[in-house]
Amino acid sequence: MANKNLQEFSIEELQSKKKTIKKLVLGLGVLMIMACTSLVILSVSMKKYVFIPIATGCIITLLPTGIALVQINKELKSRSIQR
């Protein structure tokens, strides 16, 4: 999501996108934590510690959605200051 795309949206559209992305981050975050926890427990019980770095690396997949949420928050804040 580029900044010029965010500037084209209205405030209502940005707020709805913010709600959608928040729900997405929350849902995927909970799912990812459960999957990574079970992967770590499984790798420790099987004594194959190769899966632990994979489990911690999977959290990075949430980074793009977090960045999009931060960009939307910045755009909303900049518009509220201009008013």
CA distance 51 to 43: 6
3 pLDDT more than 80: no
What pTM was estimated for this model as a whole?
0.73
Segments making up each domain of the chain, as ranges:
24-82
Q: d(Cα 48, Cα 37) in Å, to the nearest integer?
A: 15
Whether residue 47 has pLDDT greater than 60: yes
* pLDDT given at position 83: 66
Longest dimension (CA), the chain: 59
Cβ contacts of 72 within 8 Å, gap of 6 or more:
1, 6, 14, 17, 18, 21
Identity (one letter) of the amino acid at 55? A
Which of residues 73 and 58 earns the better pLDDT score? 73
Query: Do the Cβ atoms of 35 and 58 come closer than 8 Å?
Result: yes
Confidence class of residue 82 from pLDDT cuts 50, 70 and 90? confident
Between 36 and 1, name the one with better pLDDT.
36
